[in-house]
Amino acid sequence: MYKYDSKINRWRDKKGRFVSEKRVPLRYHFYYDSRVNRYRDTKTGQYIPKEEVLRLIEENDLGKINVLSKNGKLYRDNKIIDRLKKDVYNDLKVEPEIKKYPDKTRYTFEKEITDLGLVTPTTYSWEYTTLNELTDYTYNFFKVNHLKKNKNVRLYPIFWAWVYDEKVDQERERWFEPPNVTQMKITKENIREQYNIMKEEHEDEIRKEDYRERILEFRAWIILKEWD
């Protein structure tokens, strides 16, 4: 077992000897705190979103992670990973809107993320609170809801805002949408690029047009569309 000594910012092994951080397995960089039912960063003690924890577990193929019991005992556990997956995936699962056509069927999965703290409106634009977390959430939404029988797939975020145009003294609605990510390109890197493009294009428009549309109300969704 390894333990982080916050007083001197060093890691120790079970005998108390100093070890290089590179030698410390990833599972020791975070733990589940049973006292508050949240995940924490071992170094800082700050809470870590469960979606980020699941990403770390899956990307590094971890079979067990550290758990701090209510009485303060630290142990390794694998059942907590199963509960984490169930918790994250159940939260992301939605029922599709199904529309049938003569030659095909369209499935639309929609998840509103306005109140999740992933996207925060500013006066004229928006900020991504944590782009990695937003990317993970979007990718997991796709994994949970994707109907594997369908090859025609489109995944994209879409933002809506009710704005006040200061130049013409008028209120109106605005929609913001990036290029779709298709079935062959649905990766975390492409999803992250989607969000970057959407924000950069909007802020570039502000600079070029020199307009001021003050955001009065803001909402955000993730959309997954599939056709069989």
- Write out the chain's pLDDT in tens, 228 residues: 788 888 888 898 888 899 988 888 888 899 999 999 999 999 888 998 887 898 888 888 888 999 999 998 888 898 899 888 888 778 888 999 999 999 999 999 999 999 988 999 999 999 998 898 899 889 989 988 998 887 789 999 999 999 998 888 999 999 998 876 666 678 889 999 999 999 998 988 888 876 688 999 999 999 999 998
The amino acid sitting at 227 is W
3-class secondary-structure state, position 55:
helix
Of the CA atoms within 13 Å of residue 52, those in its CB half-sphere come to 18
- Residue 4's H or E segment, with its range, is strand 3-5
The amino acid sitting at 21 is E
What pairs with residue 126 in β-bridges? Answer: 121
Per DSSP, the residues of 149-208 read T--EEEEEEEEEEEEEETTTTEEEEEEE--PPEEGGG-SHHHHHHHHHHHHHHHHHHHHH
pLDDT value, residue 85: 84
Q: pTM, whole model, 2 decimals?
A: 0.69
pLDDT value, residue 52: 82
pLDDT value, residue 90: 80
pLDDT value, residue 181: 66
What pairs with residue 172 in β-bridges? Answer: 163
pLDDT value, residue 210: 67
* Alpha carbons 146 and 159: distance in angstroms, whole number: 21
Number of H helices, E strands in the chain: 4, 16
Sketch the domain layout of the chain as residue ranges. 3-89, 93-227
